[in-house]
A and B are shown apart, each in its own frame.
Chain A
């Protein structure tokens, strides 16, 4: 039993079909439960008032925006090294989800920033690097869309993902250097004194778990769609060859 068994598309489809219903339910329960918990059963923050509650969408989406790219990087590496088609298709499937997560993080951040910082947008390092990440996602998806041959597309996009990751990290440090921030630092570490208060943190952890599961199930679902689309293309090509 090894993880490489799932490089077989049929095996992948069968297993993902079995686990997906559970994941859908679990992520829905966690997200809905976490949001209701956060919105109605936590007190208002003593300085930020009720605006603090957007944190339950902002932080989980930002978490997944970065980790979606990281997952694409791992999947691209697997494609480059071991050439499993499912891996390339999973990277392709994750990109639009990552775009949406980045957009949610940017938009909820703007809505939160307006009452708190008095501005929708500032060229703060964190905000800027998220915008740059968004551009990287756009380029990646555009390259997938532009190339007809699926194997060529998988090769080129995976190398773009590897090179892009290096430059995304460089950009992160560059913008850090370039401007001082408005955005607070990390406040959810396990080992720090100054964290979000527990009463806000528990529903937040719940929402984050829900978003992680949602991302996984969306990627599984979209990968399955991509595999089936690839099969249809192969069938059509064979028809044309025989006709």
Chain B
């Protein structure tokens, strides 16, 4: 499992792996927001938590189609499926690798982009914390979506259509934590709900993802 994780990380970090693309996308979305809603700093401060969450979600979504497609094309996915490692474990590791290469950088960059959007000082801690808790769920749900569409020719657009509705609860609770934190309200309830969704997703989603991948590899 660790060897697989290292392999995926190396493939992502080295040339052509596309590491940083999601990060650049996150940056550009955030920069585009003031252009579209105007430079009024009060407005920007109000929408900042939501924009950061939406940007992170889209950046995650955008990198999903590479998650399994390359391994599918060169056949290494078939090898992994027949390896002694259970397919559920393979997919959990792949989701973890996706999170390390996409989700974690987003979490680290989000406070910096928060400065650009005039995020309230109290919000920096909460946006980081909520993204840290929420992005693993985004990666794991995304892995399910990627396994669902791996064999399809026009998979990319369909993947977004399938995964977006599944992201709704995570987005609602995550953005709620950030918004309440920025406004100085209590954040326990949405934070617990967000953590619960992430924990449940991490526990059950590998099985669903492995089930659909087995169908696709048949």
Contacts and interface: CB of A to CB of B under 8 A. Distances in A.
A32 to B, nearest CB: 36
Contact of A156 (B165, B168, B205, B216): B216
Contact of A132 (B152, B155, B161, B165): B165
B122 interface: no
A170 B218 contact: no
Interface in A127-145: 132, 135-136, 138-139, 142-143
Nearest to A136: B165
B207 to A, nearest CB: 10
A171 B173 CA distance: 10
Contacts of B166: 163-164, 167
Given A156-B148, A177-B176, A143 B158 contact: yes
Contacts of A135: 161, 164-165
Given A132-B168, A138-B161, A152 B173 contact: no
Interface in B162-211: 162, 164-166, 168-169, 172-173, 176, 189-190, 193, 197, 205, 208, 211
B152 A167 contact: no
A10 to B, nearest CB: 27
B172 A156 contact: no
Contact of B172 (A136, A142, A174): A174
Contact of A171 (B154, B169, B215): B169
Interface string B141-153: 0001000110110
Mostly helix, strand, loop or mixed at chain A's interface?
Answer: helix
Nearest to B167: A167
Contact of A170 (B148, B149, B197): B197
Q: Which of A135, A136, A139 has the most CB of B within 10 A?
A: A139
A142 B158 contact: yes
A142 B161 contact: yes
Q: For chain B, which range describes its interface: under 10, 10 to 19, 20 to 34, or 35 or more residues? A: 20 to 34
Contact of A163 (B144, B149, B189): B144
A152 B218 CA distance: 9
Interface in A160-196: 160, 162-164, 167-168, 170-171, 173-175, 177-178
| Closest CB pairs A-B (n = 6) | A170-B169, A174-B172, A155-B215, A174-B169, A135-B165, A171-B168
Interface of B: 144, 148-149, 151-152, 154-155, 158, 161-162, 164-166, 168-169, 172-173, 176, 189-190, 193, 197, 205, 208, 211-212, 215-216, 218
Interface of A: 132, 135-136, 138-139, 142-143, 146-147, 152, 155-156, 159-160, 162-164, 167-168, 170-171, 173-175, 177-178
Given A152-B215, A159-B212, A170-B169, 17 more contacts: A135-B164, A139-B164, A142-B161, A142-B162, A143-B148, A143-B149, A143-B158, A152-B216, A156-B148, A159-B208, A167-B166, A168-B165, A171-B169, A171-B172, A174-B168, A177-B190, A178-B176
30 contacts: A139-B161, A139-B162, A139-B164, A143-B149, A146-B155, A146-B158, A152-B151, A152-B216, A152-B218, A156-B148, A156-B216, A159-B148, A160-B148, A160-B162, A160-B212, A163-B208, A164-B165, A168-B165, A170-B169, A171-B168, A171-B169, A173-B169, A174-B169, A174-B172, A174-B173, A177-B176, A177-B189, A177-B190, A178-B172, A178-B176
